[in-house]
């Protein structure tokens, strides 16, 4: 399986990693405990079984729109087989247009939760079976993220992640 992911700028990456660390410091499920070298804050746009050359070319053209504005708002929780705590990404017009374009390029996308009609953009902060993050949502967010504007940043680059080889490759701006 391959994912297409957006990566935040360095200051947003640091802010997310700071939340990861704050969760870990309290003994709560956190992405900071995933030590694989590819683990970093990201937003998943789509998944595909394969990424043929023509799809990679089309994705690179679509992702040439980067950088794009990024706004992290509040926290949200997903419940299911695995519980997730995430930082919500505001759905602005540029992000929605890019997501729909990537979705169209990867027509066979097998994950219906990532379809434009159902997609909930977010950056995962922690996950686990039966995980609980007690207390008020804002307690782990940095002070600069608590106002009405939340935390602004930029989507700086994009990558694909191959779950079989557990490797990444830059797509779009910055690609070799």
Long-range contacts of 23-28 (CB under 8 A, 24+ apart): 23/85, 23/125, 23/126, 23/133, 23/140, 28/126, 28/131, 28/133
Considering the domain boundaries, does residue 11 fall inside one? yes
**Average pLDDT for 62-78:** 93
- Residue 149 belongs to a domain with what CATH number? 3.90.1140.10
Sign (positive/negative) of CA torsion 104, 116, 51, 110? negative
Residues of the domain holding 80: 2-134+142-171
Considering the domain boundaries, does residue 99 fall inside one? yes
Considering the domain boundaries, does residue 62 fall inside one? yes
Q: What's the pLDDT score for residue 114?
A: 76
Q: How many domains does the chain have?
A: 1
Q: Are 141 and 19 in contact (CB under 8 A)?
A: yes
Higher pLDDT, 168 or 173: 168
Considering the domain boundaries, does residue 176 fall inside one? no
Q: State pTM to two decimals.
A: 0.91
pLDDT category of residue 32 using cuts at 50, 70 and 90: very high
Q: What's the pLDDT score for residue 44?
A: 93
Backbone φ, ψ for residue 155 (5° rounding)? -80, 110
pLDDT, the chain, mean:
89
Residue-wise pLDDT for 125-160, tens only, equals 999 998 889 878 778 888 776 665 578 899 999 999
């Amino acid at each position: 399986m391959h994912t297409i992911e957006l990566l935040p700028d360095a200051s947003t990456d640091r802010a997310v990693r700071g939340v990861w660390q704050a969760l870990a410091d309290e003994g709560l499920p956190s992405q900071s405990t995933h030590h694989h070298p590819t683990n970093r804050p990201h937003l998943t746009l789509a998944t595909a079984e394969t990424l043929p050359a023509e799809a990679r070319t089309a994705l690179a053209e679509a992702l040439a729109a980067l950088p794009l504005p990024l706004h992290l708002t509040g926290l949200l929780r997903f419940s299911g087989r695995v519980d997730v705590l995430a930082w919500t990404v505001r759905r602005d017009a540029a992000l929605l247009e890019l997501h729909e374009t990537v979705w169209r390029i990867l027509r066979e996308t097998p994950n219906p939760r990532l379809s434009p009609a159902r997609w909930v953009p977010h950056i995962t902060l922690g996950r686990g079976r039966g995980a609980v993050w007690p207390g008020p949502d804002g307690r782990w967010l940095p002070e600069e993220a608590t106002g009405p504007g939340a935390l602004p940043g930029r989507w700086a680059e994009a990558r694909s992640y191959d779950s079989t080889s557990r490797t990444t490759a830059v797509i779009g701006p910055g690609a070799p």
